[in-house]
Structure 1
Amino acid sequence: MFVLTSSQMREIDRKASQEIGIPEVVLMENAGFCVFEEIKRDFETLDDKNIAVFCGKGNNGGDGFVVARYLAQVCPNVKVFLFDDNVTLTSKVFLDILKKLEVDINILSEELLSSLRAQRFDIIVDAIFGIGLSKDIDGLYKKVIEYINGSGAYVYSVDIPSGVCSDSAQIKGCAVRASKTVTFVYPKVGHILYPGSYYCGKVIVKDIGIPEKIIKDIKVKILTAEDLDISKFYRYPDSHKGDYGKVGIVAGSKYYPGAAALCSNAALQSGCGLCYLLTPKEVLYFQNFRRPEIIVLPVESKEGIVSFDGFVKFDEYFAKFDVLGFGCGLTKNKEVEKILIHILENFQIPIVIDADGLNVLASSRDVRELLASYKSQKVLTPHYMEAARVLDVDVKDVAKSPIDAAKKIASEFRAICVLKGSRTIITDGDEVFINILGNPGMAKGGSGDVLTGIILSMIAQGYSAFEAAKLAVYLHSLSADILLEKKTMQTILPSDIIDGLDSTIKRLIKG
């Protein structure tokens, strides 16, 4: 399913009106009726309900006038509240109809708002601000939104909760907390990303009669099973381990031995044929937590951290690897930078860089230049803080515009960027997929190491870096969601996600 920005939605509306000839009043009528339909579906009867419809001056308010008209036909207790009756021309068509039908219309003021606190509404329709909101909300608008949030009513937001920025999902001072949001054509970025998603309640997407043919060049999608290529999950009976790829992983230190174990375990469990782990000798005490199938190449270390001199002794193995993972649990260290420079200068293997590999990327000009010119496939897997370091911006800037941040990283390094978060974003700098699966049980140290291992495994099995990243993110989060059928969020561990990959892959294959 596509995800739209406000400008894309406005352009779709423009084309529908000017190029196809569908009048704006028809689209507004259809939108309002869709909201009414949803309200009617949710409540067995409306004739005994007290309903308030709050309408702004723009076209979102016009949608609200249409909702109010339909509600007034089935409910005697509908009140419409306006901030101003100087509304848009299209909205005025429907406001005038309400006046002729003698629907109870009120102009909001501080005094009226105070009197409303003594009333109780069962249903409130929020049609104050739509997807075009760009400035922070204050004054009477803010007080009305605070009233709605404290009303105890079941709240329907038209298109998007008033106060949520549709392009960034940021809150513009305050926002309506909707029970349900009814939006049109496709969801908007503000419905999908946080914190906006918190305010939307259940999001319903309705068709308002805009032809699909005019919806073009949309580059952002919600990641679904239909977007995944699982053809390589099917295996021929005469295949062997070499057919499923050789993964090389440079990971771990005496401080973070678990990172190496989790990454390599995940790679094996998700299907690669062979997994080689280059890790400091000190990590070998972690043997009991490691699958015996992992081929360990113990690297000489400096105080428990991989050394450059020890690492280069294993250069001959790099001819065997179909993909290389770098960074999990290596620590911030000059030796780590030297090793990554050596890899980028001397080999051309698809590479997945995570964790301390990203920290090196953020701090080393040499690594940045080498990675940008590296010819083979690249996947970078930052969380928000790592992305901020790579981009040399504040982490708040990444949180405000995560899609832009991910696209910028992908474009600068000509890589696939997997920006990890509650809504993980996968992009090649052009196309964007937003993952909506997963749960807070994944918010534990080691989850990122598991994801890196799955991405490596998918590339080893023959998927492109982009396809591998999409598949891995989906499998990773779906495994965590399946775990909720038996476990609580508090008790889910990254190692559980690895163990759950068996049932996850089965479910994906079965559809």
Structure 2
Amino acid sequence: MYVLTSEQMKQIDKKATSEIGIPEVVLMENAGFCVFEEIKRDFGDLKQKRIAVFCGKGNNGGDGFVVARYLLNESDNVQIFIFDENVSVSSRVFLNILKNLGANIQVLNEDLVARLYRERFDIIVDGIFGIGLVRDVEGLYRKVIEYINSSKAYVYSIDIPSGVCSDTGQVKGVAVKANKTITFMYPKIGNILYPGAYLCGKLIVKDIGIPEKVVEKISIKILSREELNIEKLYRYPDTHKGDYGKVGVVAGSKFFPGASVLCANACVKSGCGLCFLFSPIESLSLHNFRNPEIITIAIESKDGVITFEGFKQKEEFLKRLNIIAFGCGLTSSVEVEKILIHILKNFQIPIVVDADGLNVLANSKEAQTLLREYKAPKILTPHYKEASRILSCDVSEVAKNPLDAAVQLSEKFNCVCILKSARTIITDSNNIYINILGNTGMAKGGSGDVLTGIVSAMLSQGYDALDAAKLAVYLHSLSADILLETKTVQTILPSEIIENLDIAFRRVIES
């Protein structure tokens, strides 16, 4: 499913009107009816319900006027609140209809808002702002939204909760907390990214009669099963381990031995043919819970951290690899920087860079230049903080516009970027996918190491970088969601996500 910017939706509306000939008032009528339909479906008999409809001056308010008209046929107590009589041209059509019907329409002011706190509504419809909001919400608008959020009513927002920026999901000062949001044709970015996604409550996407033919190529999509290439998950019977790739996991230290194990275990569990774990001997000796299928290459170390000279001594093993996964739990050190630079200078095989590999990129201009010039497929898997370091900006800037940050990283290094968060973003700079699976049980140290292992295994089985990233993110989150069927978010462990991958693979293949 596509995800739209506010400008894209405006252009679609414009084409539907100018090229297809659908009047704007028809689209407004359809949108309003869709909202009414949801209210009726949820509440059934509305006759005794006390309902408030808040309408802004733009077309979102016009949708609200349509909702109010349908509600007037169902309830004896519908109050319509407007900020100004000066509404958009199409909205005026429906405002005049309400006036002709003798509807209870009141113009808001501070005294009226204060009196509303003494009233009780069962249902509130939010039609204050639509998808075009760019400024912070202030003055009377802010007071009305604060009132709505203080009420105990069930709140429906039209298109997007008022106060949420539809292009980023960020709150513009204050925003409505809806129980349900009805958006039209396709979701908007602000419906999908947090905190907007949370404020939407339950999101419903409705068709309002705009033909698909007016939709040009949209680069942003929700990551769904339909977007996955699962062809290579099917295996011919006459194959062997060499057909599924040799992955070298360069990871771990005395301080973070588990990171290397999680990454390598996930890689083996996700179908690679052979997995070599390059790790300091202290790291390998500190645990006994790795899969025996993993081939361990003990690297000489200093104070439990991998050394460049120790790595060079095992270089002959690197020449046998098809994929390199670099960074999990290595720690930040000059030696780690030297190793990554050496790999980028002397090898041309697909590479996945995570964790301390990303820290090297943040601190080394040479590593950045080499990665940019690296010809083989490459995937970066940063979280917000790691992304901000590489982009030399504050982490809050990444959080405010993660789509832009992910694209910047992809363009900067000509790579696929997996920007990890509650809404993980995958992009090759031309195509953007937003993952909506997963749960807060994944918010534990080690989850990212598991993802790096899965991504590396997908690459080893012949997927290109973008398809490998999409499939890995989907399987990783799906496995965690399946665990919620028997566990709570508090008790989910990254190691259990690995063990549960067999069920996730089966559901993806058989669905």
Helix, strand or coil: the match of 1:141?
A: helix
| Pair 1:74 & 2:74 matched | yes
Equivalent AA in structure 1 for residue 25 of structure 2: V
Aligned residue in 2 for 1:416: 416
Structure 2: which amino acid aligns with 1:31?
A
Deviation at 1:319, TM superposition (A): 2.5
Match in the other structure for 1:474 = 474
Counterpart CA distance in 2 for 1:412 and 1:89 is 45
Equivalent residue, structure 2, for 1:122? 122
How far apart, CA to CA, are the structure 2 residues paired with 1:263 and 1:115? Answer: 59
**Structure 1: tracts of 5 or more residues without a match:** none
Letter in 1 for 2:290: R
Q: Following TM superposition, by how much is the alpha carbon of 1:134 offset from its aligned partner in structure 2, in angstroms?
A: 0.6
Contact map agreement 2:266 2:453 (CA 8 A) in 1:
yes
Report Cα offsets for 1:450-491 as digits up to 9, x if no partner: 000000000001111110100000000110000011111111
Which secondary structure does the structure 1 equivalent of 2:288 belong to? helix
Q: 1:238 to 1:286 in 2, by over 3 A?
A: farther
Aligned residue for 2:182, secondary structure, equals strand
Q: Where does the alignment leave 5 or more consecutive residues of structure 2 unmatched? A: none
Q: Distance in 1 between matches of 2:353 and 2:288?
A: 26
Q: How does 1:15-414 map to 2 (within 5 A)?
A: 15-414=15-414
**Deviation digits for residues 124-165 of structure 1 (CA, Å, limit 9, x no counterpart):** 000000000011111111111111111100100011000000
CA-to-aligned-CA distance 1:29-82 (integer Å, 9 cap, x gap): 111111111111111201111111000011100000011011111212111000
Q: Distance in 1 between matches of 2:388 and 2:381?
A: 12
Pair 1:4 & 2:4 matched: yes
Amino acid at match of 2:400: K
1:234 deviates by 1.4
The CA distance in 1 between the partners of 2:365 and 2:147, in whole Å, is 53
SS of residue matched to 2:156 = strand
Cα separation, 1, equivalents of 2:249 and 2:185 = 44
Aligned-partner residue type, residue 104 of structure 2? D
Whole-angstrom distance in 1 between the partners of 2:133 and 2:44: 34
- 1:18, distance to aligned residue in structure 2 (A): 1.1
TM-score by length of 1: 0.99
Question: 1-side partners of 2:155 and 2:340: how far apart?
Answer: 53
Counterpart CA distance in 1 for 2:22 and 2:427 is 35
Structure 1 residue 185 displacement after superposition: 0.7
8 Å CA contact 2:410, 2:417 repeated in 1: yes
Shift of residue 417, structure 1, vs aligned partner: 0.1
**1:379-426 deviation line (CA, Å, top 9, x unaligned):** 000000000001000000000000000000001100000000000000
Q: Structure 1 residue 20: deviation in Å?
A: 1.3
Which residue pairs with 1:431 in the alignment? Answer: 431
Is contact 2:156-2:181 (8 Å) kept?
yes
1:462 counterpart residue number: 462
Whole-angstrom CA distance in 2 between matches of 1:405 and 1:230: 28
Counterpart amino acid of residue 471 in structure 1: L
Identity level (%): 65
Indicate the residue corresponding to 2:444 in structure 1: 444
Q: How much does 1:500 deviate?
A: 0.5
Of stretches 311-320 and 421-430 in structure 1, the one that deviates more from structure 2 is 311-320
SS in 1 for 2:148: helix
Kindly report the root-mean-square deviation, in angstroms, between the aligned alpha carbons of the 2 structures. 0.8
Give secondary structure in 1 for the equivalent of 2:173: coil
Whole-Å separation in 2 of the counterparts to 1:118 and 1:488: 40
Moved more, 9-18 or 110-119: 110-119
How far apart, in 2, do the equivalents of 1:235 and 1:181 lie? 43
Q: Which residue of 2 aligns with 1:506?
A: 506
Tell me which residue corresponds to 1:489: 489
Distance 1:36 1:433 in 2: 31
In the alignment, the residues of structure 1 paired with residue 287 and residue 67 of structure 2 have an alpha-carbon distance, to the nearest angstrom, of 65
CA contact (8 A) 2:254 2:286 kept: no
Aligned mates of 1:285, 1:356 — CA distance in 2? 21
Distance 2:243 2:365 in 1: 37
Displacement of 1:115 in angstroms is 1.7
Name the amino acid aligned to 1:365.
K
Letter in 2 for 1:272: C
Structure 2 counterpart of 1:13, one-letter code: D
In 1, distance between residues paired with 2:458 and 2:256?
Answer: 24
Give the TM-score of the pair, scaled to structure 2.
Answer: 0.99
Q: Where in structure 1 do 4 or more consecutive aligned residues deviate above 4 Å?
A: none
| Greater mean alpha carbon deviation, residues 104-113 or residues 408-417 | 104-113
Q: In structure 2, what is the Cα distance between the partners aligned to 1:462 and 1:114? A: 64
Per-residue CA deviations over 1:94-128 (Å, capped at 9, x if unaligned) read 10010001111001111111222221111100000
Shift of 1:287: 4.2
In 1, distance between residues paired with 2:179 and 2:308?
57
CA deviations over 1:336-371 (Å, ceiling 9, x no partner):
111111001001010000000000001101000000
Give 2:118's aligned amino acid: A
